[in-house]
Chains A and B, each alone.
Chain A
Amino acid sequence: MKTASYHILRVGMAITFIWIGILIIKSPESWGGYVQPWVTNFLPLPLEQIMIGTAIFDIVIGILFLVDWQVWVAGLLAALHLLTVLIVSGITDITVRDIGLLAATLVLMLDDLPIKIKKNNHE
């Protein structure tokens, strides 16, 4: 059985991811401003569309956290997403916050790993 701390972290991360998704949908161009100029040269679609896609991705991750279903998959996707954010936005004053979020997503992923994978890791 999962601990209360796990559920508190899970719901907290759900709020963060869904809320960020909504804020990005509200003003994708502002959030696109965090993307480093060198990254925009490699984008296959306009930055605004990429940001809307990111928002939907964030909301889906948040919903998976919220309903406590396939949390390890959501945690893995969230960790990869945050790593991408760290790369494309560069090191800024708010990088520490993303590192904290990255750590939290890894905790959720590792705690919810299917028993099969956990067993293989122990062997």
Chain B
Amino acid sequence: MYIGAVFVIIRGMTFEALIFTFSILGISETVYLIKKRILSEKPVCPVNEDCTKVLSSKYNKLFLIPNDVLGLIFYIVCSLIAAFLVIIVQPLSLWYILLSVLVLVGSIISMYFTYLQFNVIRAWCFWCLMSACTIWLMGVTILLNNIL
């Protein structure tokens, strides 16, 4: 019964709606972090962990670009692809493959960052974990869309 319910939820335009919603959540998270970084303010850390320790660590950049900026670009591209899939901008299959590849790469990078927090920096950043969960949920959505 549950599989049937998931099937109903994930089918049709709901797939694009979920990807879009997760992308927008990601944009709001990354925009918040970018703003705080530019203003040199400490972000709110709801789980009482040391977000600043993670955000100011030497791992806060990838290819010389701050992780929050990379994340923002990633989420904007994903939301645009979701919009293209809804509006039916051809070639749909290319957009779908591009989205899948992006989310796969994003998921792997998020796993790496989560490992860094757990084992190297030894501190947790709420916003980084939120972003990782958002990308993983996008991955689960794509997987379910392929399976069902």
Q: Is the interface of B mostly helix, strand, loop or mixed?
A: helix
* Docked-complex contact A66 and B83, CB < 8 angstroms: no
A4 CB contacts on chain B under 8 angstroms: 46
Contacts A66-B31, A67-B31; A23 near B25 (Cβ below 8 A): no
> Chain B 1-45, CB within 8 Å of chain A: the 1/0 string?
000000000000000010011001101100110010000000000
* Docked-complex contact B35 and A68, CB < 8 angstroms: yes
A11 CA / B21 CA spacing, docked (Å):
10
Is A118 interfacial (CB-CB < 8 Å)? no
Is B65 interfacial (CB-CB < 8 Å)? no
B31 CB contacts on chain A under 8 angstroms: 66-68
Is A19 interfacial (CB-CB < 8 Å)? yes
A67 CB contacts on chain B under 8 angstroms: 31
Is A47 interfacial (CB-CB < 8 Å)? no
* Docked-complex contact B24 and A15, CB < 8 angstroms: yes
* Docked-complex contact A26 and B24, CB < 8 angstroms: no
The closest CB in chain B to the CB of A1 belongs to: B44
* Docked-complex contact A18 and B86, CB < 8 angstroms: no
A83 CA / B83 CA spacing, docked (Å):
27
Is A107 interfacial (CB-CB < 8 Å)? no
The closest CB in chain B to the CB of A23 belongs to: B86
A22 CA / B27 CA spacing, docked (Å):
17
Contacts A15-B21, A19-B20; A26 near B87 (Cβ below 8 A): yes
B147 CB contacts on chain A under 8 angstroms: none
* Docked-complex contact A25 and B28, CB < 8 angstroms: no
Known contacts A26-B86, A68-B31; 4 further A-B pairs (Cβ under 8 A): A4-B46, A14-B24, A15-B25, A22-B87
